[in-house]
């Protein structure tokens, strides 16, 4: 069921009965705050973006694979997916944890390997836009709680399992389509994993299929560059694609960072979701946790999470970084702000 009345712009995250693990330090003002990890400085300029002594706080735990965080500014809440559990959760500083949507993806009895939602974003009207693994589509949540499919096919063939998305200021949606949600990859109708653009007119355009496993996606502050992360063990890279005036990109991108060094030394995680600050730096999940990458591709440092980390998003007043890391939701205070704040 949907736990809100008239859509995202008026959502209410009501606290429900939950296992103790999900209530661990769920509200601000808790007497004891659990912290994890550390901050690794690889370039002195990182200290302009974050204090290396800043604690990485655990807000709530107990998920199977937390993903897709998005901050809802007018309600001061964080929404995020648990992809295998097929739910969208909510956390607020005031009320802690609640369930926002169940199911968030596939509604049948036997679904895909990861049947729920993944990446989440809000559009210019405050409506939630969702990457739906289980139904292999992009959908939008309307004011009455109904779901409108925005795209589920390219040239008549079903997507693999749309994974992550970013929305341009003109309303176009850029998204990735790896096969992670499929229990049986023989169900694939496309023989590649694409990066796409969904125009406001509903037209889907294939931008590139050069990546084996495209995953996280983000836009630069000037919206002239599209960043795509690849979760592929032989090539755990972050690519940049120049955006043309018509909104498309070149089929071949420029690799700005290859994280193979850290993957080879056994640091947990692969390139995955990411967000961008107002200075154009990428805060990108990858081996070790969250990698802070300058627009030039220089690695400035890492937030060492200790577990595979899926994604991150700025929230609060814009300077708080929320992190989805395996079974946990964490946050850390930065000295910068995310786009849109």
CA distance 46 to 83: 32
31 is a domain residue: yes
The pLDDT of residue 111: 59
- Which residues are bridge partners to 311 per DSSP? 324
Q: In terms of Cα–Cα distance, which of 50, 76, 27 is closest to 319?
A: 50
1 is a domain residue: no
222 is a domain residue: yes
Q: Say which residues have a Cβ less than 8 Å from residue 147's Cβ, sequence separation at least 6.
A: 130, 139, 140, 141
The pLDDT of residue 27: 62
Is the Cβ–Cβ distance between 293 and 238 less than 8 Å? yes
30 is a domain residue: yes
Tokens of 269: 């995680």
Listed in order, strand segments (DSSP E) in 73-222 are 77-82, 87-92, 96-101, 117-122, 128-132, 137-141, 147-151, 153-154, 157-158, 165-167, 173-177, 194-198, 204-208, 214-219
Peptide bond into 2 cis (omega under 30): no
Is the Cβ–Cβ distance between 197 and 177 less than 8 Å? no
Domain hosting 282: range is: 8-333
CA distance 140 to 131: 9
95 is a domain residue: yes
338 is a domain residue: no
What is residue 249's DSSP assignment?
B
CATH at residue 148: 2.120.10.30
341 is a domain residue: no
CA distance 88 to 4: 12
Q: Give the number of domains in the chain.
A: 1
The pLDDT of residue 199: 98
CA distance 74 to 341: 12
Is the Cβ–Cβ distance between 327 and 317 less than 8 Å? no
pTM of the model: 0.93
268 is a domain residue: yes
- Which residues are bridge partners to 67 per DSSP? 81
What is residue 223's DSSP assignment?
S
CA distance 325 to 269: 10
- Identify how many contiguous H helices and E strands the chain contains and give both numbers: 1, 28
Q: pLDDT in tens for each of the 341 residues of the chain?
A: 444 433 443 344 543 434 434 445 456 655 478 999 999 999 999 999 999 999 999 999 999 999 999 999 999 999 999 999 999 999 999 999 999 999 999 987 765 678 999 999 999 999 999 999 999 999 999 999 999 999 999 999 999 999 999 999 999 999 999 999 888 888 899 999 999 999 999 999 999 999 999 999 999 999 999 999 999 999 999 999 999 999 999 999 999 999 999 999 999 999 999 999 999 999 999 999 999 999 999 999 999 999 999 999 999 999 999 999 999 999 999 999 999 99
Q: In terms of Cα–Cα distance, which of 328, 315, 239, 310 is closest to 274?
A: 310
The kind and range of the H/E element at 261 are helix 260-264
């Amino acid at each position: 069921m949907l736990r809100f009345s008239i859509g995202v712009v008026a959502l209410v995250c009501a606290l429900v009965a939950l296992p103790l693990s999900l209530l661990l330090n769920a509200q601000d003002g808790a007497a004891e705050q659990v912290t994890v990890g550390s901050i690794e400085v690889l370039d002195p300029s990182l200290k302009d973006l974050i204090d290396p002594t800043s604690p990485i706080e655990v807000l709530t735990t107990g998920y199977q694979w937390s993903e897709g965080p998005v901050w809802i500014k007018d309600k001061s809440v964080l929404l995020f997916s648990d992809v295998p559990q097929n739910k969208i959760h909510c956390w607020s500083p005031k009320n802690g944890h609640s369930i926002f949507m169940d199911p968030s993806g596939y509604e049948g009895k036997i679904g895909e390997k990861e049947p729920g939602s993944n990446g989440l974003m809000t559009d210019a009207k405050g409506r939630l836009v969702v990457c739906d693994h289980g139904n292999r589509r992009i959908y939008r949540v309307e004011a009455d709680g109904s779901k409108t499919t925005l795209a589920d096919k390219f040239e008549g063939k079903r997507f693999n399992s749309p994974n992550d998305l970013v929305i341009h200021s003109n309303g176009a949606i850029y998204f990735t389509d790896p096969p992670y949600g499929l229990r049986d990859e023989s169900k694939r109708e496309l023989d590649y994993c694409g990066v796409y653009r969904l125009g406001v007119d509903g037209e889907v355009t294939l931008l590139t299929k050069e990546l084996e496993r495209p995953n996280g996606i983000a836009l630069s502050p000037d919206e002239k560059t599209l960043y795509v992360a690849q979760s592929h063990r032989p090539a755990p890279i972050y690519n940049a694609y120049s955006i043309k005036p018509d909104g498309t990109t070149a089929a071949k991108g420029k690799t700005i960072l290859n994280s193979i060094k850290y993957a080879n030394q056994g640091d947990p995680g692969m390139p995955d979701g990411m967000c961008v600050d107002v200075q154009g730096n990428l805060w990108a999940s990858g081996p070790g946790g969250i990698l802070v990458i300058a627009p030039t591709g220089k690695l400035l440092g890492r937030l060492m999470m200790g577990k595979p980390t899926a994604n991150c998003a700025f929230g609060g007043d814009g300077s708080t970084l929320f992190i989805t890391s395996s079974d946990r939701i964490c946050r850390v205070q930065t000295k910068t702000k995310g786009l849109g704040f």
